[in-house]
Structures are given as C-alpha cells and as structure tokens.
A = this chain, B = another copy of it.
Amino acid sequence: MASVRAHALAGIPDVRAGDDLAALIAEAAGDELRDGQVVVVAHKVVSKAEGAIVDLRTVRPSARAHELAGGHAGEDRRSGDLSGEPPRFAPAKDPRVVQVVLDQSAEIVRAARDVLICRTHHGFVCANAGVDASNATGADTVVTLPRDPEASARGLRARLRELTGVTVAVLVTDSFGRAWRHGQCDVALGCAGMVALDDWRGRVDANGLALRATWLAVADAAAATADLARAKDSGEPVVVIDGLERFVTAEDGPGAAALLRPLEEDLFR
C-alpha cells in the first residue's frame, strides 16, 4: 500500500559555523538513506553551519530601526508573551534586531499591530524576515535565513551523494505564518531534486472535467509533514521522508523558487 512516512533523525549534534552539515546528517542517518528519499532540513542548522548568525553587539540601529522598535519601548515583550494574549507574530523590540530584520528585507510589507511582515531579499514574505532569536548561539546573537537556501539545498544534496552514494532530494525549511490563518506551517525555502510545485492545471479529473486550480505546493506539504515528525524542543532538525519518490528528480531542478508569488501577482497591491 502506498504511504508517506516521515521520521526525524536522532543524534544531530549542535551545529556550528563551518561544520560539514551533510556529514553530520549522513552520520546520524547511518545506513538508512535511500535513493528517492526527501531529506528535510530546518534552515536554522543550515544557517548556523553557513555562519548566517549576527552578533548584535556589532549592529548599529538606524533611525528607522529605532522608530519601528519604538512601539515596543518600555514593554517587557518576553514576560508579555508569557501571560495573556501574545502577539500573532513575534515582533522585535530590540532596535538592533529590527536593524537586522531591515538588512534582511527588500521591503516591509506591513508594520502594524505588533507585526513586521517583510519581503526578504530572496522574495519570501514572512514575519521579521525570518530573523530568529530563539535557539540561537547566544543571548546577543540572532540567526538569519541562509543567504541562498536553494544553493544550500543543492550543496547538501551533492555532498550527501558524495558521502553516501545515495541520491535524495533536499529541502531547507522554515516555519511561516499565514495571512489568513492562525498558526505556522513549515514551508520550503530551498529545494534540490524535487518537484516543488505539481501542476495539474489543465489536466482532467476522473470525470473528464478540467482540474482548473489544482496546483499542489508539494515541497511545502513535505515541509509541513516533516515538522509533524519532530517535537519542537527535541533538537531534531533533520527529517527523512519516504514515499515521495514520484516527486524526486535526477536533476536539481528549478527549486523552491517556483513557490514564490511574484510581486506583480501580489494580491494586496
């Protein structure tokens, strides 16, 4: 019976800048990697391995960063989060963090109601441009998104093949909020060797009717699946999925860029 199965790899150690992440994954996987599996890697370990970490002590906030952080001046955001109704997206009250967010952003889409929704230089629309202070390497550092998550995915794929002889697909993921729904779902920032978007538009269904809007974000669904296979505090950044072989390709392919909605299609302009 066809099925999809996802399990987290145990034994990935704390990742540091310069680490050979693919080697850590290969070691944790032992002999269980197989052709056609999808290896889903939380971006944070990719960012750490690539040194995408900012020391806040080196950041000089601009006037705009101070202004955007200003709404939160005097609040204790952390204790505020621990009681009552926390904000829907975590805002940054530290002007230095806001400056990092600005540095990572091509555009601030919305700065209102305790929210900084940004379009990153990659084209991702997400809270705080993906800048994250949790699970960072220290109190005065933040982790940013990888500079080029597609290249990260391709690099991990190639190195895993080199180390193990196995051809998997690789996704690099993060948890994003949604415009119209509560909660976060993991999505693919980078993708190598997998069809990210399965386009059924124009095909017909079992009754011969056109499937007009069936356009599946396969890589995002795989990212969401992977997130279910780990506990958020378990330190399990890598999940292996079986059963998606039909979406795995020999070539690295166009990657997760297919999932980006171009500016000219933005429904809110």
A residues within 8 Å of B by Cβ?
1-8, 10, 77-78, 81-83, 86, 88-90, 110, 112-113, 115, 117, 124-125, 127, 133-136, 139, 175, 177-187, 196-198, 200-203, 205-207, 209-218, 220-222, 224-225, 227-229, 232-233, 235, 243-244, 258-261, 265-268
Contact = CB atoms under 8 A, between A and B. Distances in A.
Contact of A215 (B183, B187, B268): B183
Among the interface residues A186, A212, A233, which one has the most CB atoms of the partner chain B within 10 A?
A: A212
Contacts of A89: 213
Contacts of A198: 183
A124 B60 CA distance: 42
Contacts of A179: 125, 178-180, 261, 267-268
Contacts of A1: 7, 10
Nearest to A78: B210
Given A181-B260, A265-B113, A267-B110, A211 B232 contact: yes
10 contacts: A4-B228, A86-B212, A115-B267, A175-B214, A175-B216, A177-B213, A178-B261, A180-B266, A205-B233, A220-B224
Contacts of A139: 209
A110 B265 CA distance: 13
A75 to B, nearest CB: 13
B260 A229 contact: no
Nearest to A203: B233
Contacts of A218: 183, 228
Contact of A4 (B5, B187, B203): B5
A72 B267 CA distance: 19
Given A81-B202, A83-B202, 13 more contacts: A1-B7, A2-B8, A4-B5, A6-B225, A81-B210, A135-B209, A181-B261, A182-B258, A182-B260, A185-B224, A203-B233, A214-B232, A228-B243
Contacts of A113: 265, 267
A230 to B, nearest CB: 8
Contact of A182 (B6, B136, B184, B261): B261
Nearest to A230: B2
Given A182-B261, A210-B134, A200 B232 contact: yes
A125 B215 contact: no
Contacts of A88: 215, 261, 265
A6 B3 contact: yes
A227 B217 CA distance: 10
A129 to B, nearest CB: 13
B267 A201 contact: no
